[in-house]
Amino acid sequence: MIYLYGKEFKRGVTVSDATIYDVAPTVLRVCGFPPALDDAMKSRFYRMLLESDEDTCPLVEGVAIRSYSKERHHEAICSVYGRSFSEPPWQSDWDRFEQFDPDGVFVAEESKGKTPVGYVISFRRPGYGYVSVVAVLPEYRRRGIAFTLVRTAIRYLRQLGVRTIMVDAPADSPPAVHLYEKVGFRVVGTYEDEQVRHGA
């Protein structure tokens, strides 16, 4: 069994080529799973579109938002992921997916020790921008860090000229769904609905 974004997967699960999160293929491959996702998993995620867009990235006291540096942040992100989702840390090749854009990754560092306490991953896909994952260590939550990280990613995607921005939020995670709603995203369906609508 492996864990991916808070969900458990057993070996032998049937999956399709469409993926909810673009890092999923890497994680599944590393763990020896077939390269696909099952329909049940798709409906567990809300597809959310950014509707209202204020260009604000409020400062959080004691925390600095930094651009991603592979040297400084690559391994730290694996462990922040593990602690944030209460799962085994990511494999160190988490960044080896086709759309990965290091410039679309931002890290929240505790200002004094420069320890990474959260991060967001975003990238451009054909026709839209995607916020793939945001995570903050439990002891640093409810201080606005994730809000600022996601807003920073949106600002980056806007600078690339992206107009449509999406996320897929775990439907059973009120913190995730509320966070994205606070940022300005609205639920437009499940991931599966969206695939049907776009004929993917």
Ligand X SMILES: CC(C)(COP(=O)(O)OP(=O)(O)OC[C@H]1O[C@@H](n2cnc3c(N)ncnc32)[C@H](O)[C@@H]1OP(=O)(O)O)[C@@H](O)C(=O)NCCC(=O)NCCS
Stretch of 65-73, 92-100, 156-164, 178-186 lying at the interface with ligand X (CB under 6 A)? 178-186
Options 96, 174, 186, 196; binder of ligand X; rule CB under 6 A: 174
Whichever of 124 and 143 has its CB closer to ligand X, that residue is: 143
In contact, 41 and 171? CB cutoff 8 Å: no
Tokens of 39: 């329909």
Cα–Cα distance, 84 to 108 (Å, whole number): 13
Residue 135's DSSP bridge partners are: 119
Does residue 136 belong to the site contacting ligand X (CB under 6 A)? yes
Whichever of 35 and 175 has its CB closer to ligand X, that residue is: 175
- The count of chain residues that interact with ligand X, using the rule CB under 6 A, is 22
Residue 49's DSSP bridge partners are: 166, 186
> Helices (DSSP H) in the chain: which residue ranges?
24-30, 39-42, 70-85, 145-159, 174-183, 191-197
Cα–Cα distance, 157 to 182 (Å, whole number): 18
Instruction: Write the binding mask 56 to 95 for ligand X: x where contact by CB under 6 A, - elsewhere.
Output: ----------------------------xx----------
Q: Report, in Å, the least distance between residue 176 CB and ligand X.
A: 4
- The residues binding ligand X (CB under 6 A) are 84-85, 133-136, 141-147, 169-170, 173-176, 178-179, 182
